[in-house]
Structures are given as structure tokens and as C-alpha cells.
Amino acid sequence: MRIVFLDENTVVLKGDIDLGVLRKLGEYEAFSILPHDDPVPLSREAEVMIVNKVKVSAGAMKQLPSLRLICLAATGYDNIDIAAAKDIGIRVANVAGYAKYSVAQQVFAMILSIATRIHDYYGDVKGGEWQRSKTFILLKYHTFELAGKKIGIVGFGAIGHEIAKIAEAFGIQVLAHDIVDISRTGYENHSLDELLRSADILSINCPLTERTRNMIDSDSFTKMKKNAILINTARGGIVNEEALARALNSNLIAGAAVDTLSTEPPVEGNPLLGGVKNLILTPHTAWATRDSRQRLVNAIAENIKKYIREEFEGFVV
């Protein structure tokens, strides 16, 4: 069985991940190609294709008669033509929940960075401002405590639930929102409008679908508190980037931290790249701790084993 990983470089950093669990399953070959490149030339005779962000269209699938399984090295599968895969008879398997600790950790790193302005103070110290201070302290920025605040979590799956647990340890009240029943979690399912109006921190943790695209828009920011901050570690297209830039520059909200953009890598002209104030921007790395990436590879191997055993429960198609 030939297994190809078309963008292994998006998961492995200088050999820090053990890929033995994949190599044991068949004739394994890895490539490092950019998203949107043609997957066909590298996948001929492959029965199993592993991709992270490489797009796999209906046309590509039709040119790969040996292909029987597409494994996503991710939770989201918007880069795969799911309808075509179903029609052709190709199984698709994603990995859910593998990054819940890593993403929740980064969400709070971002929240704490905004709350304490630690990155700004560190820059000032490096620039010599503390040395030039007239007093023992360099007091420049308004900071705030998390205790007693409210966090609105949009998308209450594995990641959202993990964020809630950490939030409560800080003394933050949790307001959860999801389009599905979350009663099993023990949390009440609030409306998105209530989260927008009540939350001091709004954390976006839902998938990107046509329903959620531009879900947080100009109207959303007018409903939010002036002291509110927005955290997006989900998908860039969920938050309208032009609306977010305007909201930050006009002080509609107090700050934001974003790990994902609508187009990645970003292109010239993206409104969040042009000196937007009170914004932290990271390059889609919230999920990417070594622990998380190893857990992801192990789960991909388990999906391939399930395919071999013809156990398809939990697969996308």
C-alpha cells in the first residue's frame, strides 16, 4: 500500500516528530509542496493520501484511480471536495481534538499578553526606557485582571471546553455558544448576540463553514463592549478582517489577537498587516506544539489502521 504525505513540512520541524507509526503501515513517501499545488503528479499509485492544507479537487481525485483514503492532518476539511469524494467512493478522515491543549494554551497566552501588556513592557525595557525612568517603576499602559471577567466561547467542542476549564481557574465566568446541543458539557448554550453584548473576552473556536464565514462583522463589533478583546485561533474567514481593523483603529474594541487569516500565507493588502493598533498577530501556530503534532501523526496512523480494518466510524465520508 503506497502512502503519500503531500505537505509533511507543515507538521514536522527538523525531524522532531516520530513518523515510524506511518512508515510501518506501507510504502511511505513524504513531500514538501505548497498548498494549492497539483497533488496528482506526486500521488500516482497511492492508495492513501495525507494532506494538511493541500487542496484536493474532484478533478484531482478522478485522475487517481488507486486513491481510496484521504487523511487530513487537521481537523478542518474545507480543502477537500467532500461531495466528490463521496461520489467517487474515496474515504476522508480528519483528526479532531488533537490540539485542544495547545490551542487553549495559546488562547490564554494571547489573553494574558493583552491583559498585562507584557510584550509592550518588554520592548520598552529592551529599548532602555526603564533605565531612563525617574522612579523605580515604568508605568505606561492600562492593564487589567482576568478575575471577574466574562469570556464568550464561540464553538464549544474539545478546544472550547478546554478554554472554559482554564478560564474558570482564573475566576472568569464562561458564556458558551454553539450551533449544536452542548447540554452534556454542563454549560448553558447562550446566543451569539448575548456573547457579543456581555463578554469581556470573545474567543472564536468554531469551524469555517458558509454559515460561519464573516460571522463576526462590523455589526458584531458595534455590539461588543468598548473594553472587550477578541481572540481568533480558529479560521481567518470567520472574522471579517476589514471590520476588525476598523474596530481596533476606531477603538470600538480594546484589542485583538489573531492566529489565522483568510488567506495564508498572507497577501499584500491584507488589512490586518498594515499597522493596526492593539493587535497581536501570529502565523497559524496555536496548534503546533511538538506534543500536539505527535498526537496528530499518531491519530492519522490510527485512521489508516481503521481503514485497513474497514472501520469507518468517525470518518467524514
From 29, 68, 246, 264, active-site residue = 264
Residues 157 and 254 in one domain: yes
Residue 155 forms part of a structural domain: yes
Q: What is the pLDDT of residue 62?
A: 98
Position 18 in a domain: yes
Residue in 91, 235, 293, 295 annotated catalytic: 235
Q: Tell me if residue 132 is catalytic.
A: no
State the cell numbers at 51. 494532506
Would you state the cell numbers that stand for residue 192, as one nine-digit string?
Answer: 451569539
Name the burial class of residue 119, with classes exposed (0-12), middle (13-18) and buried (19+) by CB atoms within 10 angstroms of its CB. exposed
Secondary structure tally for the chain: helices H, strands E: 11, 11
- In a domain, residue 317? The reply is no
Full pLDDT tens readout for the chain, 317 residues: 999 999 999 999 999 999 999 999 999 999 998 777 899 999 999 999 999 999 999 999 999 999 999 999 999 898 999 999 999 999 999 999 999 999 999 999 999 999 999 999 999 999 999 999 999 999 999 999 999 999 999 999 999 999 999 999 999 999 999 999 999 999 999 999 999 999 999 999 998 889 999 999 999 999 999 999 999 999 999 999 999 999 999 999 999 999 999 999 999 999 999 889 999 999 999 999 999 999 999 999 999 999 999 999 999 99
Task: Give yes or no: residues 92 and 145 share one domain.
Answer: no
pTM, full prediction: 0.92
Residue 314 resides in a domain: no
Shared domain check, 161 and 262? yes
- C-alpha 168/C-alpha 172 separation (Å) is 5
* Same domain for 110 and 234: yes
Q: Which three cell numbers stand for residue 92?
A: 476522508
Q: Among 91, 177, 190, 284, which one carries the catalytic annotation?
A: 284
Is 316 within the bounds of a domain?
A: no
Say if residue 89 is in the same domain as residue 104. no
- Whether cis (ω within 30° of 0) applies to the bond prior to 35 is no
Residues 92 and 104 in one domain: no
**What pLDDT does 76 receive?**
86
Q: What does DSSP assign to residue 216?
A: B
Residues 81, 210, single domain; the answer is no
Total domains in the chain come to 2
Identify whether 15 is part of a domain. Answer: yes
Q: Residue 303: how many CB atoms within 10 A of its CB?
A: 23
Give the residue ranges of DSSP H helices in 53-179.
58-62, 82-88, 100-116, 118-126, 158-169
pLDDT for residue 196: 98
Residues 134 and 214 in one domain: yes
* CATH code of the domain covering residue 12: 3.40.50.720
Whole domain around residue 38: which residue ranges?
Answer: 2-98+290-308
* Domain assignment present for 190: yes
Residue 218 identity (one-letter amino acid)? S
Q: Are residues 256 and 117 in the same domain?
A: yes
> How many of the other CB atoms lie within 10 Å of CB of 184?
6
Asked if 178 and 79 sit in the same domain, the reply is: no
User: What per-residue confidence (pLDDT) applies to 246?
Assistant: 98
Same domain, 120 and 242: yes
Q: What is the pLDDT of residue 78?
A: 86
Q: Is 197 a catalytic residue?
A: no
Q: What is the pLDDT of residue 19?
A: 97
> What pLDDT does 37 receive?
81
- What CA–CA distance (Å, rounded) separates 9 from 33? 8
Give a yes or no: residue 19 inside a domain. Answer: yes
Question: What pLDDT, on a 0 to 100 scale, did the predictor assign at position 213?
Answer: 96
311 assigned to active site: no
- 126, 245: one domain: yes
